[in-house]
């Protein structure tokens, strides 16, 4: 029997928000996106939510993200993520997910984050969680800037292809491996391992889990790292039974409301 691994989707599975949404505010602040992009991003978000599991919608989302990011300096994106990671991501990591990741690691399994978000976001989030292996969307880079092309889009069946390649290279036994996701679009990922679990599922995914007798986990406690370390025994996992650009519009809208609320409070 080969080694086993645990594959975790990121958004709404490990963290309680969209990673792209989380970084929308500093992207807007630093001029990477404009007000016009807000409208286009809102449309892309709506289309993904309405039909994000079909191949055509995934392809449109991929192409939109590539066009949105075209010309962005890669180093600027990395710097923004590094500077805002602890403020925008750390408080929203589910305590149940963090504990489950640690349990898999303690059992000797490799843990892999598998996300459609950009690698420049996903890898630092992985490091925050003590996870070094990630499968994420990779944009083509030329002369230090995104070219407007996607080298690898980590969504749907493409996730399974990357997982299978990693399993072959590492000697993982997928029949003895685990996968966790909140999204029906990750059905191929869940079906490729012997121990799939759904996290905070919507109706469609919950129905699929019921049909296949998959465990349904409810993660409800996003807690910052410091508190997770102090309070870990109080969050028993057993009781717990989206690339760059998608969600940006919602993030900016939230930021606008947040600033107005603060201004009103100090007036």
With a cut of 70, say whether residue 28 has pLDDT above it. yes
Strand partners, 135: 114
For the record, the structure tokens of 227 come out as: 């508190």
147: three-class secondary structure by DSSP: strand
pTM for the model: 0.81
The CATH number of the domain where 175 resides is what?
3.40.50.1000
Q: Where do the H-state alpha helices sit in 53-201?
A: 55-69, 74-88, 95-106, 119-129, 157-170, 187-191
| Residue located via tokens 């599991």 | 53
pLDDT at 248: 37
Q: How many domains, the chain?
A: 1
Between CA 118 and CA 219 the distance in angstroms is: 24
Classify residue 85: in a domain, yes or no.
Answer: yes
State the Cα–Cα distance between residues 264 and 243, nearest whole angstrom. 34
DSSP code at position 144: T
Query: Known catalytic residue: 9?
Result: yes
Q: How far apart are CA 114 and CA 8, in angstroms?
A: 6
Which class for 95: exposed (0-12), middle (13-18), buried (19 or more C-beta within 10 A)? buried
Q: Examine residue 240 and state whether it is found in any structural domain, yes or no.
A: no
On the 0-12 / 13-18 / 19+ scale of CB atoms within 10 A, 206 is middle
Residue 266 in any domain: the answer is no
DSSP string, 208-222: HHHHHT--EE----B
Distance of CA 36 to the CA centre of its chain: 25
Check whether 155 has a pLDDT greater than 80.
yes
Query: Is residue 5 predicted with pLDDT exceeding 90?
Result: yes
pLDDT at 228: 56
Question: Which member of 11, 37, 182, 186 is catalytic?
Answer: 11
Domain containing 103 equals 5-223
Q: Judge whether 113 lies within some domain.
A: yes
Q: What is the largest CA-CA distance in the chain?
A: 66
Question: Which residue among the candidates 9, 37, 110, 186 is catalytic per the annotation?
Answer: 9
Determine, yes or no, domain membership for 57: yes
In a domain? residue 230: no
Q: Where is 168: in which H helix or E strand?
A: helix 157-170
Q: What is the pLDDT of residues 57-109, one digit of tens each?
A: 777 778 888 888 999 999 999 999 999 999 999 999 999 999 999 999 999 99
Token pair of 180 as six digits: 């966790």
pLDDT of 235 over the 60 cut: no
Structure-model confidence comparison of residues 208 and 252, the more confident one: 208
Average pLDDT in the 113-126 region?
Answer: 94
In a domain, 247, yes or no: no
Clarify whether 143 is annotated catalytic. Answer: no
249 belongs to a structural domain: no
């Amino acid at each position: 029997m080969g080694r086993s691994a645990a594959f975790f989707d990121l958004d709404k599975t490990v963290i309680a928000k969209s990673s792209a949404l989380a970084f929308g505010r500093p992207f807007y602040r630093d001029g990477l996106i404009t007000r016009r992009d807000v409208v286009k991003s809102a449309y892309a978000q709506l289309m993904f939510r309405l039909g994000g599991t079909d191949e055509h919608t995934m392809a449109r989302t991929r192409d939109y993200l590539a066009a949105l990011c075209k010309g962005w300096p890669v180093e600027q994106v990395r710097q923004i993520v590094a500077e805002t990671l602890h403020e925008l991501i750390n408080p929203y990591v589910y305590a149940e997910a963090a504990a489950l990741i640690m349990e898999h690691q303690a059992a000797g399994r490799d843990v892999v984050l598998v996300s459609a978000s950009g690698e420049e976001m996903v890898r630092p989030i992985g490091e925050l969680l003590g996870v070094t292996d990630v499968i994420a969307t990779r944009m083509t880079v030329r002369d230090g800037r995104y070219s407007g092309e996607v080298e690898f889009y980590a969504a749907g069946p493409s996730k399974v292809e990357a997982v299978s390649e990693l399993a072959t290279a590492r000697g993982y036994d997928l029949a003895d491996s685990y996968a966790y996701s909140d999204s029906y679009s990750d059905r191929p990922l869940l079906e490729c391992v012997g121990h799939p679990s759904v996290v905070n599922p919507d109706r469609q995914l919950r129905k699929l889990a019921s049909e296949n007798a998959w465990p349904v986990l409810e993660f409800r406690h996003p807690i910052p790292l410091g508190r997770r370390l102090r309070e870990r025994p109080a969050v028993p996992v057993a009781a717990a039974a989206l690339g760059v650009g998608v969600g940006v519009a919602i993030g900016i809208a939230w930021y606008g409301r947040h600033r107005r609320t603060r201004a009103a409070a100090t007036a």
